[in-house]
Amino acid sequence: MDGIVASVPGFPFSIHCAHKLPSADTVQSVSMQRSMELIREILFALDRHAHGFAPPKIEIGNHSDEEIGFHIHLMGQAKLLDTIDVTTHGDKSPQALASAITWEGYDFLEAAKNDAIWKKATDTLSRNGMGVTLEILKALLVDLAKQAIGIK
């Protein structure tokens, strides 16, 4: 019999799961990396939507549903979006649906809207070899925006 059989001592039954575990040969090692660019694009897509609630499906360039769902999950953790966890046992990454942009999400979106400021901020961080955290990126975006309008 293929699959997994589990029995618990003291219980008069065993559980059989028909699903086979993948062998080491069939598992592909794919690293799901957080992308601030994709986070920005998701916020843009939600902001363009005609209503306050998110559209039922978000499609962005050549990003997979898994990538988008994973990033929406991360954005929920970061309080950029209200999200609904839709992760199932078979998913390879945590998955979420966007419900709406939060106050914090709109603040980040406003700071990230200007393409020239976004490029300068991300170039500065990568040039300095710094990992990009949301807090550092947002602070840099706000500082650059202040400089652009003559504040500071």
pLDDT classification of 20: cutoffs 50, 70, 90: very low
What's the CA gap between 111 and 40, in Å, rounded? 10
The set of residues, in sequence order, having a beta carbon less than 8 Å from that of 3 and lying 6+ positions away, is 16, 17, 18, 19, 20
pTM of the model: 0.77
Q: Domain limits of the chain?
A: 32-102, 114-152
The set of residues, in sequence order, having a beta carbon less than 8 Å from that of 21 and lying 6+ positions away, is 4
Q: How many other CB atoms are there within 10 angstroms of residue 69's CB atom?
A: 23
The set of residues, in sequence order, having a beta carbon less than 8 Å from that of 61 and lying 6+ positions away, is 41
Which position has the higher pLDDT, 137 or 31? 137
